[in-house]
Amino acid sequence: MTAEGAGGGPGAGPSPDRVTVWDAPVRLVHWAIAALVAFSWWSAKSDHLAWHRLSGYTILGLLVFRLIWGVIGSETARFSSFLAGPRTVLAYLGGRAAPRVGHNPLGGWSVVVLFTLLAIQVGLGLFSVDEDAIEAGPLDRFVSFNTGRAITHWHHLVFNLLLVFIGLHLVAIAVYAARRRDLVSPMLSGRAILPPGATAPRRAGLAPFVVAATLALAAAWWIAHGLKLS
């Protein structure tokens, strides 16, 4: 999606060494998920389970979108661009990695952990049921009450694990900030200065965005309706 201008054009505003690192879909998904995780926690704690489910379905749609965007989206969004093997991760830790934009080789794996935990959390929520069987996820009819309660127990446990990794995520960002590397501004504005020797990442067009958004909406709607066809 070419959400922002081409960047660096004559009179277009941004100086030529600033490029779009994170496109609008990546940023929107990120900040929406961050807000919805907080909202999911609040809505469950305050017994607003209808809101809680809606928040979960929205996270589900965003995750499906991000998964597809990770294959057909902009260069820095693609898993193939930021998932590196152990040798590259070690080279990065040893300060021997080539300059680049996007997730660094270690950060790429923390992204996978965060998205996977979120997907597990939503997946467990779909089968969860409260102790008096009044509130439940849309797929709880596929499991017995006792299994549903066991899954709910895991829904609680995985939430705590998610909190640990969100905490580590924030600590990592604070460590970079302390070393004068601001990662937050690019996640807000999309733009960052291109390191010497690195090339500007390629941005996806509108067609892959429409494909990913349509599939994500359809998947979230279908799952939220208990996998029923009507």
Binding stretches for ligand HEM (CB under 6 A): 26, 29-30, 33-34, 37, 40-41, 44-45, 49, 52-53, 56-57, 59-60, 66, 103, 107, 111, 114-115, 121-122, 125-126, 128-131, 135-137, 152, 155-156, 159, 162, 166, 169, 173, 183-184, 187
CA-nearest of 221, 219, 225, 216 to 32 is 216
Comparing CB distances to ligand HEM, the nearer of 2 and 27 is: 27
Report, in Å, the least distance between residue 121 CB and ligand HEM: 5
Closest-approach residue to ligand HEM (CB): 56
Report, in Å, the least distance between residue 54 CB and ligand HEM: 8
Comparing CB distances to ligand HEM, the nearer of 12 and 71 is: 71
Report, in Å, the least distance between residue 97 CB and ligand HEM: 13
Comparing CB distances to ligand HEM, the nearer of 11 and 50 is: 50
Comparing CB distances to ligand HEM, the nearer of 9 and 167 is: 167
Amino acid at 76: T
